Structure formats: structure tokens, C-alpha cells
């Protein structure tokens, strides 16, 4: 059973991560005695200060999971709409973020998960396919996993949860198509009453609870990542 620690808030700090020729800005959420780390890949038009992803991150902190919310584009790049959908550009940057996490001593041996929203879900799945021995779990919220492409989806080994709003019909279809290509432990959960952004009362809370349970469950199965009872 996962441990909820509401009286132990995370310590958040801004960090800068080198990825090729660019410096990416991120927010590292640290908790005492972490059982794992989740790196967030934001969707198009979103970023490290997204209130929805911050809410999910806070719920992960309560379960003893550290987080890294990172902007995969610089401020200048984000002004070009097409770059938000350039999965080939964003993938190595998320790989660099994962490598940065591994370079922090206290996280080096912990389970590592990826949380992707919108186009960020495709980036997360591409990275999971490229790093099958290092990614322990993936969660997509209102994501576009289909954009990862069939070859990558077939290579994903990390347990993958696809969360979609019941009122987001087109994205449900795209997620179902991606699910059919995944060969790993994977499922889709549809949140009643939720639209694409999970703005309806209680819907983001439901999505966050599913994400926390998924990471906690799969981190617990990784050596050194047992979740405390």
C-alpha cells in the first residue's frame, strides 16, 4: 500500500538542465526518503508551471515520489507552434532530463517514471521505448500517444496507463488505437464527465489518484523502490 504523507511537503527549486545547445528550465520537487522520481513531459502550450501538472506532482509528493517538471522548449522556441509537435526534437531533450536525474546521487538507483500530457505523452513513450531498462512506468493524461508512432509503441516495455476524459471523444479513439499497438502491461482509464483539460469538478483529482496509484504500484516492484506500508 502506498504511503500518503500530507504533513511532509516537498521542497521545490528551479534547476537548469543542458540538452545539446539549449538550457532547459525545470522545477525539481524533492521529498524526504523518495521511493522514485517522475519526470513530466508537458503538452503543447503548457510548461513547468502548469497548475494541472503541479496538482498531480503534489499528489505524487504525498506518496513519497519526487518530481521534475521541465520545459522541453526554450521561451523562443515555444513561440513557434510547430515545434510543440516536433517529437523528434523533444525526445532527446527528455532523455537528457532523465540523465540529469540519474546524475543526482539520491536518485541514481531509484525507479524512474514519465508523466506526459497532450503531445508530451508521445515524447514520454518514445523515451520509454528508447530506454527500456531505465523507465519503470509511464502515465499519459489527455495525451496523444498515437504521435509516438507504431514502431516506438511496440517497443515500450514500461507499464503504461492512458487516462482520458469521457467527453474527449476524438482523443479516446486515438488512445484506443495506441493501446492496441502497445505490447507492455497497459490499460486505458476513462474519467466520467471530464473534457480534454480535466477542468470539471473532481476530474483532475480522479486522474491524479490513478496516476499516483500506477506509479506507486510499479515503483514498488523495482529493486530499491519499495513503497512503504
Percent of the chain with pLDDT over 90: 76
Q: Which of 121-135, 152-166, 189-203, 212-226 has the lowest mean pLDDT?
A: 212-226
Is 94 strand, coil or helix? helix
Given a cut of 50, whether residue 227 has pLDDT beyond it is no
| pLDDT 10s digits, 109-121 | 999 999 999 899 9
Question: Cα–Cα–Cα angle for 105, 215, 9, nearest 5°?
Answer: 65
pLDDT band per the 50, 70, 90 thresholds, residue 42? confident
Radius of gyration of the chain from its Cα atoms, rounded to whole angstroms: 16
* Mean pLDDT in residue range 172-176: 97
Report d(CA 63, CA 55) in Å as an integer. 13
Q: Give the global pTM.
A: 0.91
Three-state secondary structure of 126-190: HHHHHCCCCEEEEEEECCCHHHHCHHHHHHCCCCEEEEEECCCHHHHHHHHHHHHHCCCCEEEEE
Report d(CA 193, CA 201) in Å as an integer. 9
* Mean pLDDT in residue range 81-102: 88
Report d(CA 137, CA 199) in Å as an integer. 25
The pLDDT of residue 83: 67
* Mean pLDDT in residue range 171-181: 98
Greatest alpha-carbon pair distance for the chain in Å reads 47
Report d(CA 172, CA 163) in Å as an integer. 9
Q: Are 123 and 156 in contact (CB under 8 A)?
A: no
The mean predicted confidence, pLDDT, of the chain is 90
Amino acid at each position: 500500500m502506498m504511503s500518503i504523507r500530507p504533513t511532509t511537503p516537498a521542497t521545490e527549486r528551479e534547476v537548469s538542465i543542458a540538452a545539446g545547445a539549449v538550457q532547459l528550465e525545470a522545477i525539481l520537487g524533492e521529498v524526504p526518503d523518495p521511493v522514485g522520481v517522475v519526470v513530466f513531459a508537458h503538452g503543447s502550450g503548457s510548461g513547468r508551471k502548469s497548475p494541472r501538472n503541479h496538482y498531480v506532482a503534489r499528489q505524487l509528493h504525498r506518496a513519497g515520489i519526487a518530481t521534475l517538471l521541465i520545459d522541453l522548449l526554450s521561451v523562443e522556441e515555444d513561440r513557434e507552434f510547430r515545434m510543440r509537435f516536433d517529437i523528434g526534437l523533444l525526445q532527446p531533450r527528455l532523455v537528457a532530463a532523465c540523465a540529469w536525474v540519474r546524475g543526482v546521487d539520491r536518485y541514481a538507483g531509484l525507479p524512474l517514471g514519465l508523466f506526459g500530457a497532450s503531445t508530451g505523452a508521445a515524447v514520454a513513450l518514445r523515451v520509454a521505448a528508447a530506454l527500456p531498462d531505465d523507465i519503470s512506468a509511464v502515465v499519459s493524461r489527455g495525451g496523444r500517444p498515437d504521435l509516438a508512432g507504431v514502431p516506438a509503441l511496440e517497443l515500450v516495455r514500461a507499464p503504461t496507463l492512458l487516462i482520458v476524459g469521457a467527453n474527449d471523444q476524438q482523443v479516446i479513439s486515438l488512445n484506443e488505437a495506441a493501446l492496441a499497438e502497445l505490447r507492455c502491461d497497459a490499460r486505458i482509464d476513462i474519467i466520467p464527465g471530464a473534457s480534454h483539460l480535466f477542468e470539471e469538478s473532481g476530474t483532475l483529482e480522479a486522474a491524479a489518484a490513478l496516476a499516483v496509484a500506477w506509479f506507486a504500484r510499479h515503483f514498488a516492484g523495482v529493486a530499491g523502490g519499495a513503497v512503504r506500508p
